[in-house]
């Protein structure tokens, strides 16, 4: 229920951060000004007794986020991939949130499996281990199938996770409403839409049947990707709250010492992670949207193994072209074209100056072009990007939130593997290849073919559609208006459909 009672929840959030010491850690990580520190801590200090105490054996930030609940943990998982933003020490602390949270008892997990599969655990599995990984939504057990002897991973949702997650989201909605009410300027960022998007994404994680379907589709798309593989879904032993997949044997991608000991080339792994993400996003429009270190392993032969497919991203073909053109423009340092693409896609209001926007983008791109990851301050870069979006009235694009978030996470993973990675050089071949395939003569011909198929499907209905439109227009005509111009308008529309459909796609392609 979204109402003023959520004020208490938000007060407890601040109080928990203060009581656990996380408030100071976070402010230190962001090098917050002294005045900001005094104001924030002064506001929450009197209420810290209302905060959760948390697990005192954990570092402050991890302790606070785990005490606050699953939605806060998700936020911490994103920050854990960005040592350049929150600092190395805090990033290492937050990495615990990826797969090393306190587990729930194995007996409860077995009961969930029995209820979901309608079979006793002993009839399905010969072995069923204690939890080997525990995250915000679920935990994983290693097991062995009774029929085949195959090692599998059994993922089980946390008890009561749906209610706990909804409680957090309700508070987030209330906070978004307050932000929009108190700061009209913030409405361009669409706080409520962002929370709604977040809610929809995580609700998808709460039905493991959907995750199984996503894993199956992703596996089909990436079957031919060199150096990348996925464990297979065991559909017979999966349900809404339980998912069974083949066991992924390998070194965790976040354990640099173990990777080095196994003889893996971390720079090559960092490049491959980034290129795989770009390939999946641009080529397929369907990508793993939770690619942090806790969901990636490296097999003995060097293959990257991905798992945990609860959050997957989808972008349509047009958006992929826009995204590729923006990336390619930055790589080519063609800031005017990058600016034009933003205007063409409607990301920047049409009444703004395209040349001025291009200059603002140049101020973003030039200082970091050619630099390796260790030389770029993502904190300062993101701060300036926020200023640019505010100055040019850019609204939040909820359809791009997952893409942007995942790009930040993947770049952070690549940076953690190889701090001197040059992301522009790594991205260039993937983006160039997509540009060649999607924006050129072949792509135009392919688009025209699609248009012709659509027109062929509607062809027999066109006369009836035109007649219905004419009747509708005649009903709307006033005595001062004549029907003849309306007839010409309809005929011109029909010609536009027949001839201009392909031209519209042609202009979109180039």
Tokens 């603002």 sit at which residue?
360
pLDDT at 381: 58
Range from 11-20, 122-131, 148-157, 381-390 carrying the lowest mean pLDDT: 381-390
Decide which of 77 and 171 is more confident.
171
- Cα torsion at 423, 424, 430, 434 (round to 10°)? 140
152: phi then psi, degrees, rounded to nearest 5: -135, 165
Structure tokens at 424: 């522009």
Q: Is the pLDDT of residue 266 over 70?
A: yes
Q: 41-78, pLDDT tens digit by residue? A: 777 777 777 778 888 888 888 888 888 877 788 777 76
In angstroms, the CA 139 to CA 135 distance is: 6
pLDDT at 472: 77
Residue 208's H or E segment, with its range, is helix 208-221
281's CB contacts (< 8 A; 6+ apart) are 287, 313, 315, 320, 323, 403, 406
Q: How confident is the model at residue 509 (pLDDT cuts 50, 70, 90)?
A: very low
Decide which of 183 and 306 is more confident.
306
277's CB contacts (< 8 A; 6+ apart) are 287, 288, 291, 406, 407, 410
Nearest to 342 by CA among 323, 356, 328, 360: 323
Decide which of 38 and 238 is more confident.
238
Range from 72-81, 326-335, 473-482 carrying the lowest mean pLDDT: 473-482
| Mean pLDDT, range 119-143, rounded to an integer | 92
Q: 199-212, pLDDT tens digit by residue? A: 777 777 889 999 99
pLDDT at 3: 58
Decide which of 225 and 502 is more confident.
225
pLDDT at 477: 63
Residue 175's H or E segment, with its range, is helix 161-182
Nearest to 87 by CA among 34, 28, 41, 40: 28
| Mean pLDDT, range 315-336, rounded to an integer | 84
Range from 272-281, 319-328, 490-499 carrying the lowest mean pLDDT: 490-499
Annotated active-site residue 290? The verdict is yes
Range from 162-176, 261-275, 439-453, 470-484 carrying the lowest mean pLDDT: 470-484
Q: Is the pLDDT of residue 229 over 50?
A: yes
Q: Give the Å distances, CA to CA, from 500 to 98, 343, 425, 455.
A: 50, 22, 39, 11
- Which of 168, 290, 308, 447 is catalytic? The answer is 290
Q: How confident is the model at residue 371 (pLDDT cuts 50, 70, 90)?
A: low
pLDDT at 329: 83
pLDDT at 195: 78
8 Å CB contact between 433 and 327: no
Decide which of 470 and 234 is more confident.
234
| Mean pLDDT, range 302-326, rounded to an integer | 88
Q: Is the pLDDT of residue 98 over 90?
A: no
Beta strands at 304-306 and 228-229: parallel, antiparallel or unpaired: parallel
The whole-chain average pLDDT of the chain stands at 79
In angstroms, the CA 231 to CA 425 distance is: 30
pLDDT at 495: 43
- From the centroid of its chain, how far is CA 197? 10
Decide which of 63 and 96 is more confident.
63
Q: How many CB atoms lie within 10 A of CB 80?
A: 28
Q: How confident is the model at residue 341 (pLDDT cuts 50, 70, 90)?
A: confident
Domain boundaries, the chain: 6-98, 102-135+137-222+229-247, 249-439, 441-509
444: phi then psi, degrees, rounded to nearest 5: -60, -45
Beta strands at 312-314 and 242-246: parallel, antiparallel or unpaired: unpaired
Q: Is the pLDDT of residue 493 over 70?
A: no
Q: How many CB atoms lie within 10 A of CB 222?
A: 20
SS3 call for 126: strand
pLDDT at 379: 52
| Mean pLDDT, range 266-277, rounded to an integer | 93
Q: 416-426, pLDDT tens digit by residue? A: 898 888 777 88
């Amino acid at each position: 229920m979204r109402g003023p009672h959520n004020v208490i929840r938000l007060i407890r959030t601040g109080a928990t951060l203060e009581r656990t010491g996380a408030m100071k850690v976070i402010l230190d990580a962001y090098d917050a000004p002294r005045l900001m520190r005094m104001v924030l801590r002064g506001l929450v200090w009197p209420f810290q007794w209302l905060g959760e105490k948390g697990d005192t054996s954990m570092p402050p930030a991890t302790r606070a986020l785990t005490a606050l609940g699953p939605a806060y943990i998700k936020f911490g998982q994103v920050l854990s991939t960005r040592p350049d933003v929150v600092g190395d020490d805090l990033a290492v602390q937050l990495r615990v949130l990826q797969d090393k949270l306190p587990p729930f008892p194995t007996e409860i997990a077995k009961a969930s499996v029995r209820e979901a599969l309608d079979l006793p655990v002993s009839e399905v599995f010969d072995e069923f281990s204690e939890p080997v990984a525990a995250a915000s939504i679920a935990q994983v057990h290693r097991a062995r199938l009774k029929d085949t002897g195959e090692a599998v991973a059994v993922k089980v949702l946390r008890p009561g996770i749906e209610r706990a997650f909804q409680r957090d989201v309700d508070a987030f909605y209330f906070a978004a409403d307050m932000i929009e009410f108190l700061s009209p300027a913030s409405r361009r960022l669409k706080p409520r839409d962002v929370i709604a998007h977040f809610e929809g994404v995580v609700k998808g994680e709460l039905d493991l049947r959907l995750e199984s379907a996503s894993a199956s589709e992703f596996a089909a798309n990436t079957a031919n990707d060199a150096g990348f593989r996925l464990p297979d879904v065991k559909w017979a032993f999966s349900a809404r709250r339980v998912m069974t997949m083949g066991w992924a044997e390998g070194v965790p991608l976040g354990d640099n010492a173990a990777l080095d000991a196994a003889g893996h080339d971390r720079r090559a792994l960092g490049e491959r992670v980034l290129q795989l993400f770009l390939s999946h996003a641009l080529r397929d429009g369907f990508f793993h949207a939770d690619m942090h270190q806790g969901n990636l392993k490296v097999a003995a032969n060097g293959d990257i193994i991905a798992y945990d497919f609860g959050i997957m991203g989808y972008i349509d073909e047009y958006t992929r072209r826009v995204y590729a053109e923006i990336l390619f423009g930055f790589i080519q340092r063609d800031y005017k074209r990058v600016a034009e693409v933003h205007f063409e896609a409607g990301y920047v209001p049409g009444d703004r100056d395209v040349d001025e926007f291009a200059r603002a983008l140049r101020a973003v791109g030039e200082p970091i072009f050619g630099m390796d990851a260790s030389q770029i301050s993502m904190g300062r870069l993101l701060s300036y990007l926020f200023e640019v979006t505010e100055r040019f009235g850019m609204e939040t694009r909820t359809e791009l939130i997952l893409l942007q978030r995942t790009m930040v996470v993947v770049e952070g993973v690549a940076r953690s593997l190889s701090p001197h990675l040059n992301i522009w050089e790594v991205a260039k071949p993937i983006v160039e290849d997509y540009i060649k395939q999607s924006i050129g003569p072949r792509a135009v011909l392919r688009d025209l073919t699609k248009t012709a198929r659509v027109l062929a499907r509607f062809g027999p209905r066109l006369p009836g559609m035109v007649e219905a439109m004419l009747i509708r227009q005649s009903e709307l005509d006033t005595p001062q208006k004549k029907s003849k111009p309306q007839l010409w308008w309809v005929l011109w529309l029909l010609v536009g459909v027949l001839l201009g459909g392909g031209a519209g796609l042609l202009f979109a392609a180039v």
